[in-house]
Amino acid sequence: MNRRKAMMLTTLLGFLAPARLFGQEEAGRKSAPKKASRPAADDREREREDPESPDEPPSGLLRESGYQMRTYDISSYTKLAPGQQNPQKAIVEWIFRRTGTADWHGDKIAVLSASRGQVRAYNSPEILKQVDDVVERFTGATDDILSVHVRYFVAADTRWRHQVFSQLTAVGNGPQGQQIWTMRMADAAMMVSQLQSQKTLRALPEERFEMLNGQTLTHKQAQPRTFAGGMQRESASGQGYAPKADKIEESIVLKFSPLLTFEDDAVDASIDLTINTVRMFHRTKVIAPREQGPPEMTVDVPEVSMTRLDQVVKNWQLGQVLLITGGIHPGILESKSGWLGTPIGAPSTSEVLVFIDIETGGKSKSKNAKKAEIEQASAEEEEAPAPRRSKPRPAAAADAEEDPPARPRKTSRRATRGPDLDSDGTSGENR
């Protein structure tokens, strides 16, 4: 075989046989690129599943240095209020209460929007951490339904503090001297009973409400006052003008929004209490353009006082009563006139008191209530009498099968909606 035939044969063998038969496999021909690209895909999938990972901002949004976009699913919460128009509004309001509004309306571009399905926030990581906490308290609460009991009283004077002041725990105050305390339920019941027996406390209609956690309850008690606020023309001739009847409203308006904490044993409560009182009407004479009759007419000028308390009470323990003083409003929601139109007998001093207590009662009961129910059921089972036997049993059978020894009796307390309270008012978890 000459050299030319040998070269042709080698060329043909190189086309027909793979290179790895000759031990000439290249180092870069392995599947290393696929293995290197796999972790990158897993990381992207992990970031998509991780709620803490930031989302991509919209393409038209001017990006700020260090800011991130987060999207939160709130559909599980808004589905609980199908008949309510904008239940997601409560989440936005509580975010503002937690973070303030300055970080959302400052020099840097920030975004906070909410629909029934999701909340989108674009801000710094520090602000987004607070948004995380607020959204979690809405979507991750054990109890979604809260039972709120609101009672209004009018005290004849301020001396109701004499016996109970040492039992009150101050948690806030208002700009016009209003005060907020917490007290035990037993102390609140005793206080109300004593003051009503002494006829120094006048009760207004009380209400119980079932509301969704975090939403805002608006409760109003009002009484209109009619007065002659001006004059109006009744006919083209003759006297022509007559007093015009106007109305002004004397009212107590409470806007209340409780939000459960992570442990579901306390709430943060936003309280907006406005009290509007018509103290008196000042009668004033004015000249009326009449063609006949006296040229003067009497109109009323109302003297009105108003107080407002707008505050958030934090970590209010369930099982305690919140007591709010709305200020001194003489004759609130009652007649202001005295005997025969004189100041004698007219109300002089009266203080508005608001009692609020909350119980949980939503999709599941509180931990304390569950524990108390289990203890009560166990105690009832142990205290149940043994069934009577209709026929005497043989002695041999009695010896063969002995009755099991009686278990020691457990002490249990009555189950309540909300934290269990001992006689001294302490929480059952502290026992």
Closest CA to 128 of 54, 213, 45: 54
Secondary structure (H, E, C), 281-300? EEEEEEECCCCCCCCEEEEE
Q: State how far the Cα of 226 lies from the Cα of 246, in Å rounded to an integer.
A: 6
Give the residue numbers spanning the domain of 185.
145-360
Number of H helices, E strands in the chain: 9, 14
Residue 236's pLDDT is 58
Examine residue 343 and state whether it is found in any structural domain, yes or no. Answer: yes
Inform me whether the pLDDT recorded for 41 exceeds 60.
no
Pick from 171, 170, 356: which is nearest to 255 by CA?
A: 356
SS3 310: strand
Out of 6-20, 104-118, 401-415, least confident range = 401-415
Whether the full predicted model's pTM is greater than 0.95, yes or no, is: no
Give the pLDDT of residue 272: 97
Domain membership of residue 264 (yes or no) is: yes
Q: Which of 337, 360, 383 is the endpoint of a domain?
A: 360
Sign of CA dihedral 123, 99, 134, 254: negative
What local confidence, expressed as pLDDT, does residue 370 receive? 46
232-246 pLDDT, tens digit per residue, is: 877 655 557 788 899
pLDDT tens per residue across span 347-368: 678 899 999 999 987 444 444 4
Same domain flag for 228 and 109: no
Residues 6+ apart with CB under 8 A from 128: 68, 70, 121
Measured between alpha carbons, how far is 243 from 234 in angstroms, rounded to an integer?
10
Distance CA 352, CA 277 (A): 11
Is 30's pLDDT higher than 70?
Answer: no
Helix (H, G, I), strand (E, B) or coil at 67: coil
Asked if 259 and 313 count as a contact pair (C-beta separation under 8 A), the reply is no
Instruction: Out of 139, 156, 175, pick the residue that ends a domain.
Output: 139
Give the sign of the dihedral formed by CA 306, CA 307, CA 312, CA 313: negative
Strands of the sheet with 118-123, listed across from one edge = 68-73, 118-123, 111-114
Domain count, the chain: 2
DSSP states of 257-270 as a string? EEEE-TTSSEEEEE
Provide the 3-class DSSP secondary structure of residue 136. Answer: helix
Q: What is the pLDDT of residue 308?
A: 96
Other beta carbons within 10 angstroms of residue 64's beta carbon come to 15
- Kindly report each contact of residues 4-12 with a partner whose C-beta sits within 8 Å and lies 24 or more positions away, as own/partner: none
79 in a domain, yes or no?
Answer: yes
Compute the mean pLDDT over every residue in the chain, rounded to the nearest whole number.
78
| pLDDT band, very low/low/confident/very high, at 341 (cuts 50, 70, 90) | low
pLDDT score at 143: 87
Predicted local confidence at residue 63, as pLDDT:
85
Q: Give which of 86, 64, 68, 66 is closest to 77, Cα–Cα.
A: 86
Domain contains 413: no
Residue 402 lies in a domain: no
Tell me the C-alpha distance between 410 and 38, whole Å.
60
Domain membership flag for residue 29: no
- Report pLDDT for 59: 73
Q: Compute the average pLDDT of residues 161-185.
A: 94
- DSSP at 304: E
Grouping H, G, I as helix, E, B as strand and the rest as coil, residue 313 is: strand
Whether residue 229 sits in one domain with residue 212: yes
Which helix (H) or strand (E) segment holds residue 49: the answer is: helix 32-49
The mean pLDDT value for 150-176 works out to 93
Looking at residue 57, its pLDDT comes to 76
Q: Report pLDDT digits (tens) over 287-320.
A: 887 777 778 889 999 999 999 999 999 999 999 9
Question: Which of the pair, 16 or 240, is modelled with greater confidence?
Answer: 240
CATH code, 66: 3.30.1370
Same domain, 203 and 271: yes
Q: Residue 38: inside a domain, yes or no?
A: no
Residue 128's nearest CA partner among 104, 150, 149, 148 is 104
Specify whether 56 is located in the same domain as 167. Answer: no
Rounded Cα distance, 265 and 319, in Å:
9
Instruction: Decide if pLDDT at 369 tops 80.
Output: no
As a whole number of angstroms, the distance between CA 344 and CA 177 comes to 28
Q: What pLDDT is attached to residue 10?
A: 63
Question: Is 272 found in the same domain as 237?
Answer: yes
**Domain match, 132 and 201 both:** no
pLDDT band at residue 40 using 50, 70 and 90 as cut-offs = very low
Mean pLDDT of 325-346: 73
**pLDDT tens, residue by residue, 125-145:** 999 999 999 999 999 988 899
Least confident among 216-230, 274-288, 331-345, 410-424: 410-424
- Tokens coding 310: 């707008």
Of 360, 380, 395, the residue that ends a domain is 360
* pLDDT for res 422: 39
